Amino acid sequence: MAADAPPILSLQLVEEEPRLLKLKKMFISKFKTTPKFYVRAPGRVNLIGEHIDYCGYAVLPMAIDQDILIAAEPLSSPVLHLANTDSSYSDFNTDANDIQIKQTKPLWHNYFLCGFKGVQDHFSLRNPSGINCLVEGTIPPSSGLSSSSALVCCAGLVTLMANGKTLSKVELADLCSKSERYIGTEGGGMDQSICFLAEKGTAKLIEFNPLKATDVKLPGGAVFVIANSCVEMNKAATSHFNIRVMECRLATKLLAKSRGLDWRAVAKLQDVQTKLKLSLEEMLAVVEEAFHPEPYSLEEIGGNLGINPTELRAQILSQNTQDVTTFKLYQRAKHVYAEAARVLEFKKICAEAPDDAISLLGDLMNQSHASCRDLYECSCPELNQLVEICLRCCKSLRPSDVPSSKCWHSWWGKSLLQHLHDGASRSFKLSRFRPCMGSKQVAKQFL
């Protein structure tokens, strides 16, 4: 077994759990045989560090109880049989030697295929084992809790088990991060990393290049209330996510060019900071000098880099952003560098644990939401409304109990993270939301 591989428990220890017994019964009904093993991968919330992982910067997430669970049985024939306990997701069968992942319509099974293909390619498996799989999930889909990445990670583990292979947690996180890109998203690796590297009782500072996870102990008495705005967005189904990635990539190129660096040699905003040997605060000053707030056209960007728009599209833009014509480079770069600084400050406060730690963390989280809303434009009206509702609801509580109302995002499918003292959470009742949210199914979506 690989060093630091995901834990494996005996079926005798876990299969009597009610949830597994129910899944086993459904598996037997579906496939007329019994599952040989089960795999679980958790969802996550990101406390701070929004949309900066793909720019090279550290993030600060933690895992949640909601998860993806798969019952599986290896087969002698090279066929994948995928089924879901939710009848709204259709069954899917395919040849394990001919995996085709369609980016135009990211159906649920494509995320499983990403994890499967990632392992298949990593080990150069010529005749991978077929698998019967029954998938069950408790993560609300398209809500910003990484249900899709959890499915990719779960699929990677299933494929490893079925084919008798092992990898370390870090190797799996890297593999699944890269393999999710088969579906067309240009993510940075946070979701997959916390899925494999999370530990009970602690958040994690996730750093990249190399991948590293450090425990971050949150202040005693802090409670995080999670609410879903009920807006769904599959980030692979639209170009919105990749547009932001490309804006950051273009900002990287122009920033490097403005400071006399080889723009072709840098890919992420962190690369520019590293080469310039400046602090994050100094990088914010560079952004103010280098960019104008108005959107940039392809022609202006190409002119600065010395290439024409056709070359720019071919060399820099992803396939599903080829038709984008304007880019907000100033706003995106400013968000990234400021958010990266907030992550480090968040970790510092947790480590030093001052008496007003919860209030200080709340201030940072509020700043993060404002930046996501105004600079990165990755919020939505419903989420902004939910933030305001939370703040209004909290006015009846002691001011010291309510330091922040903060959101995190997978993309425009949104949930909100409310940061409270333990005592205040008992007064933070769901009934306060109902008069404000109209027909929204808040009760069902409150985690």
Q: What is the pLDDT of residue 15?
A: 77
Q: What is the pLDDT of residue 433?
A: 54
Q: What is the pLDDT of residue 30?
A: 98
User: At residue 411, does pLDDT exceed 60?
Assistant: no
Tell me which residues are annotated as active site: 191
Lowest mean pLDDT among 210-219, 375-384, 396-405: 396-405
Report the relative pairing of strands 130-137 and 60-75 from DSSP bridges.
antiparallel
Which band of pLDDT confidence, cut at 50, 70 and 90, is reported for residue 445? Answer: very low
CB-based contact 269:55 (threshold 8 Å): yes
Helix and strand totals (H; E) in the chain: 17, 12
> Where do the DSSP E strands lie in 325-398?
326-327
| Mean pLDDT (whole number) for 391-397 | 65
Which band of pLDDT confidence, cut at 50, 70 and 90, is reported for residue 396? Answer: low
Q: What is the pLDDT of residue 441?
A: 47
Dump the DSSP string for 162-189.
HTT----HHHHHHHHHHHGGGGT----S
370 closest CA partner among 391, 393, 387: 387
Q: What is the pLDDT of residue 404?
A: 52
Q: Do domains 18-216 and 217-394+408-419 have the same CATH topology?
A: no
Q: What is the mean pLDDT of the chain?
A: 88
Q: What is the pLDDT of residue 112?
A: 98
| Mean pLDDT (whole number) for 302-330 | 96
Q: What is the pLDDT of residue 233?
A: 60
Instruction: Give me the percent of the chain exceeding a pLDDT of 90.
Output: 70
| Mean pLDDT (whole number) for 278-303 | 98
User: At residue 443, does pLDDT exceed 60?
Assistant: no
For 217-394+408-419, CATH number?
1.20.1440.340
Domain range summary for the chain, segments of one domain joined by + = 18-216, 217-394+408-419
Residue 289: its H or E element: helix 280-290
Contacts of 395 (CB under 8 A, 6+ apart): none
Dump the DSSP string for 51-97.
T-GGGT--BEEEEEEEEEEEEEEEESSSEEEEEESSTTS--EEEETT
Q: What is the pLDDT of residue 163?
A: 98
User: At residue 447, does pLDDT exceed 50?
Assistant: no
Residues 126-173 have pLDDT tens digits of 999 999 999 999 998 878 888 999 999 999 999 999 999 999 999 999
Q: What is the pLDDT of residue 386?
A: 81
Cα separation, 193 vs 188, whole angstroms: 10
Q: What is the pLDDT of residue 191?
A: 96
Q: What is the pLDDT of residue 442?
A: 43
For 18-216, CATH number?
3.30.230.10
Q: In whole angstroms, how large is the CA radius of gyration of the chain? A: 22
111 closest CA partner among 176, 46, 63: 176
Cα separation, 382 vs 370, whole angstroms: 15
Lowest mean pLDDT among 229-233, 246-250, 373-377, 381-385: 229-233
Residue carrying structure tokens 């947790």: 350
Question: Who has greater pLDDT, 76 or 431?
Answer: 76
**Token output for 343:** 């992550």
User: At residue 412, does pLDDT exceed 60?
Assistant: no
Residues 340-370 have pLDDT tens digits of 999 999 999 999 999 999 889 988 998 999 9
Helix (H, G, I), strand (E, B) or coil at 423: helix
User: At residue 425, does pLDDT exceed 60?
Assistant: no
| pTM for this model (two decimals) | 0.90
Q: What is the pLDDT of residue 187?
A: 86
Q: What is the pLDDT of residue 392?
A: 72
